[in-house]
């Protein structure tokens, strides 16, 4: 089978446009962005590369989930719902029908689940798989766009989900720790099949600032306070880990510092006035999302864990991008 | 100098946002697309890769021009003006300050010239340079978006500029032909520093269909007629070449078939009712753009050069993307 551009588009990608007229069925160079009336439009851009963000032999489903998760996570952190996306695919010549089939089937599944469609894109022939995507989000005109800056003194700091799951999976993949098969499978699945936290658009009117944890708890918390010229006081025993991770910490299999510095969790970190505590907990419960108050915004600059200042020389956000 | 993500953004990329508030100065994951009132929004996506679309040692200015030209050319073909763009940069660890400086200076220059700004993006650390971009275009609500489909029987077929200049430059780069130094420099410059034809938004209300020649005259003309279930009759002696190219054809240094099959010209190919001839010529003259009527839309399917049907087995659009 000769996988020409034409075949890849018509056999695999065209069904992802959900027959939306503004895509012109991918017959034109561009697409018309017909944002629903009384909505604002947000754009975010994230890319993933073979050997950098995923391994050559990772399942195609995992790669599809990653490009969607990282982008939907950014939209969620800004308080938006997904709307559409463009996909720039760099694929090697020997890419198989099976790979394309599995990759696009997972995209189709995620599009149905989170209600967004493929609006356009580009195909290139590259040595390694490279995927870049622009995601468009929408929110009601009357609603505010959630930003990183915006936290106020004494605001609560909230965190969704459990920290460090994906980072432990990566360590296993890199053969830096060995765990029993049950644990191994659990964490590798967390690494391969991340999920974004979709709570963002639901709490956006109650939150004062938000970010998703893509670069690690320290790094992303620092971005929240840096933009606001304030500090954060965190209670270490409030930081949420899964039961399995708590066991690993107890058995000194993994350091808390590694868990707090590593990325790819796609949980939301956000701040809110204390008066909103009840409604935030209610919204999280209603959506079946674990949520924890981990600290407070303080006047003194820097991150403090149990009142001890964190030395962020090895802060994740200072790595070479 | 440690080129962290932070340094690349603040020292090189931040000036490209032209201080537009919707970019949040690149401090948030996404940006707000505040399309001017009474305008429609178009998005197009194109990527370029080292060793595929440019050579490792090509000047950084050339790479900046290419990512801008291919995208602005798509917008022009749809009858839009540029508005903004996102940039997903995959850069090797050893990228130099000098490279970044030259690359971003050229982007700045083109942004000023064509009036658009950087709205957001993403940085990754890759082995080879990889650049993906989404360009946003705008046009007045009352104006129609120019599409590939739409040509009518007996419409004129128009072509801007001269064909094949970039393709000859590529052949020289690949050492497949040798020319004297003057010719060599001329064509290599055409290959390295392409220009899009910005006539699109000016003729959009008079054109019935349009495409930019990125995949070659045959390939792109075929897309116009294929979508419309019609044919094209072309007069070979009307096809515009530069004086230099005419000499090369005459001396059998290059074949007309190669020139008609090769891409990266970024000229516009469009159709229009014959009653619009005068106004189209006038608009082209006013904008100092060479324009030629090369043929007509006919009922019989296929491309006919001097009434002989073109056999498009090696049609450029059937290559592996």
| Rounded Cα distance, A131 and A139, in Å | 26
The pLDDT > 90 percentage for chain A reads: 90
Q: Name chain B contacts of A151, Cβ cutoff 8 Å.
A: none
What per-residue confidence (pLDDT) applies to B317? 37
| Rounded Cα distance, B179 and A145, in Å | 58
What per-residue confidence (pLDDT) applies to A25? 93
Q: Name chain B contacts of A137, Cβ cutoff 8 Å.
A: 30
Closest B-chain CA to A75 = B30
For chains A and B, CB pairs below 8 A equal 189
Q: How confident is the model at residue B12 (pLDDT cuts 50, 70, 90)?
A: very high
Q: How confident is the model at residue B36 (pLDDT cuts 50, 70, 90)?
A: confident
Closest A-chain CA to B87 = A45
What per-residue confidence (pLDDT) applies to B141? 94
pLDDT at residue B165 greater than cutoff 50? yes
Work out the average pLDDT over A159-168. Answer: 96
What per-residue confidence (pLDDT) applies to B4? 86
What per-residue confidence (pLDDT) applies to A256? 94
What per-residue confidence (pLDDT) applies to A311? 83
Structural domains in chain B, CATH included, are 5-140 (3.30.1330.10), 156-318 (3.90.650.10)
Please answer yes or no on whether B75 and A30 come within 8 Å at the CB atom. yes
pLDDT at residue A270 greater than cutoff 50? yes
With beta carbons less than 8 A apart as the criterion, state whether A21 and B93 touch.
no
Please answer yes or no on whether B35 and A41 come within 8 Å at the CB atom. yes
What per-residue confidence (pLDDT) applies to A36? 85
Q: How confident is the model at residue B2 (pLDDT cuts 50, 70, 90)?
A: low
pLDDT at residue A151 greater than cutoff 90? yes
Find the Cα–Cα–Cα–Cα dihedral B235, B238, B243, B244, rounded to 10°.
Answer: -30
Closest B-chain CA to A150 = B28
What per-residue confidence (pLDDT) applies to B316? 41
| DSSP per residue, A124-141 | EE-SS-EEEEEEEEEEET
Distances (CA, A) of B280 to A293, B249, B290: 65, 29, 11
Work out the average pLDDT over B266-283. Answer: 98
With beta carbons less than 8 A apart as the criterion, state whether A190 and A241 touch.
no
pLDDT at residue A320 greater than cutoff 80? no
Work out the average pLDDT over A64-83. Answer: 98
pLDDT at residue B6 greater than cutoff 90? no
pLDDT at residue B300 greater than cutoff 90? yes
With beta carbons less than 8 A apart as the criterion, state whether B277 and B293 touch.
yes
| Rounded Cα distance, A53 and A50, in Å | 6
Q: Name chain A contacts of B75, Cβ cutoff 8 Å.
A: 29-30
| Rounded Cα distance, B100 and B166, in Å | 25
What DSSP designation does A50 have? B
Rounded to a whole number, what is the distance in angstroms from the first to the last CA of chain B? 38
B212/chain A closest Cα distance in angstroms: 9
Work out the average pLDDT over B49-68. Answer: 95
Q: How confident is the model at residue B229 (pLDDT cuts 50, 70, 90)?
A: confident
Q: How confident is the model at residue A223 (pLDDT cuts 50, 70, 90)?
A: very high
pLDDT at residue A317 greater than cutoff 80? no
Closest A-chain CA to B77 = A29
What per-residue confidence (pLDDT) applies to A258? 93
Q: How confident is the model at residue B313 (pLDDT cuts 50, 70, 90)?
A: low
Which of B317, B299, B301 has its CA nearest to residue B309?
A: B301
* Segment among A6-20, A161-175, A303-317, B162-176 with least mean pLDDT: A303-317
Residue from the list A27, A35, A120 with its beta carbon closest to the beta carbon of B148: A27
Work out the average pLDDT over A302-319. Answer: 73
Work out the average pLDDT over A130-150. Answer: 96
Residue from the list A27, A120, A227 with its beta carbon closest to the beta carbon of B227: A27
pLDDT at residue A102 greater than cutoff 80? yes
Top pLDDT among A94 and B137 is at B137
pLDDT at residue A273 greater than cutoff 50? yes
Quick count: other Cβ atoms within 10 Å of Cβ B183? 18
pLDDT at residue A76 greater than cutoff 70? yes
The pLDDT tens digits of the residues spanning B83-113 come to 999 999 999 999 999 999 999 999 999 999 9
A244/chain B closest Cα distance in angstroms: 31
B115/chain A closest Cα distance in angstroms: 19
pLDDT at residue A321 greater than cutoff 70? no
B209 Cβ neighbours under 8 A, 6+ residues apart:
B146, B147, B148, B149, B150, B151, B155, B224, B227, B228, B270, B271
Q: How confident is the model at residue A316 (pLDDT cuts 50, 70, 90)?
A: very low
With beta carbons less than 8 A apart as the criterion, state whether A255 and A314 touch.
no
Q: How confident is the model at residue A2 (pLDDT cuts 50, 70, 90)?
A: low
pLDDT at residue B299 greater than cutoff 70? yes
With beta carbons less than 8 A apart as the criterion, state whether A280 and A206 touch.
yes
The pLDDT tens digits of the residues spanning A245-258 come to 999 999 999 999 99
Please answer yes or no on whether B42 and A51 come within 8 Å at the CB atom. no
What per-residue confidence (pLDDT) applies to B227? 78
Q: How confident is the model at residue B202 (pLDDT cuts 50, 70, 90)?
A: very high
Please answer yes or no on whether A30 and B78 come within 8 Å at the CB atom. yes
The pLDDT > 70 percentage for chain A reads: 96
Structure tokens at A293: 């108050």
ipTM here: 0.93
pLDDT at residue A92 greater than cutoff 60? yes
């Amino acid at each position: 089978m000769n996988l020409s551009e034409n075949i890849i588009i018509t056999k695999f990608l065209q069904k992802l446009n959900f027959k939306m007229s503004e895509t012109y069925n991918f017959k034109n160079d561009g697409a018309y962005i017909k944002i629903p009336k009384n909505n604002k439009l947000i754009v975010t851009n994230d890319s993933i590369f073979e050997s950098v963000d995923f391994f050559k032999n990772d399942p195609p489903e995992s790669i599809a989930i990653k490009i969607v998760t990282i982008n939907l996570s950014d939209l969620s952190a800004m308080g938006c719902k997904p709307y559409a996306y463009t996909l720039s695919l760099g694929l090697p010549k020997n890419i198989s029908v099976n790979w394309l089939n599995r990759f696009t089937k997972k995209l189709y599944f995620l599009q149905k689940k989170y209600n967004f469609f493929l609006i356009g894109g580009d195909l290139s022939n590259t040595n390694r798989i490279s995927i870049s995507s622009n995601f468009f989000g929408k929110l009601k005109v009357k609603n505010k766009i959630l930003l990183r800056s915006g936290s106020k003194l004494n605001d609560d700091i909230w965190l969704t989900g459990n920290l460090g799951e994906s980072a432990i999976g990566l360590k296993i993949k890199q053969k830096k720790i060995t765990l029993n098969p049950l644990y191994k499978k659990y964490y590798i699945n967390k690494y391969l099949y991340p999920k974004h936290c979709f709570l963002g658009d639901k709490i956006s009117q109650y939150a004062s600032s938000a970010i998703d944890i893509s670069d690690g708890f320290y790094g992303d918390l620092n971005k929240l306070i840096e933009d606001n010229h304030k500090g954060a006081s965190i209670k270490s025993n409030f930081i949420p880990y899964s039961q399995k991770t708590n066991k690993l910490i107890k058995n000194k299999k993994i350091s808390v510092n590694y868990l707090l510095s590593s990325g790819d969790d796609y949980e939301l970190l956000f701040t809110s006035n204390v008066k909103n505590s009840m409604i935030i907990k209610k919204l999280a419960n209603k959506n079946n999302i674990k949520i924890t108050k981990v600290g407070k915004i303080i006047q003194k600059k820097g991150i403090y864990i149990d009142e001890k200042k964190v030395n962020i020389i090895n802060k994740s956000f200072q790595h070479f991008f």
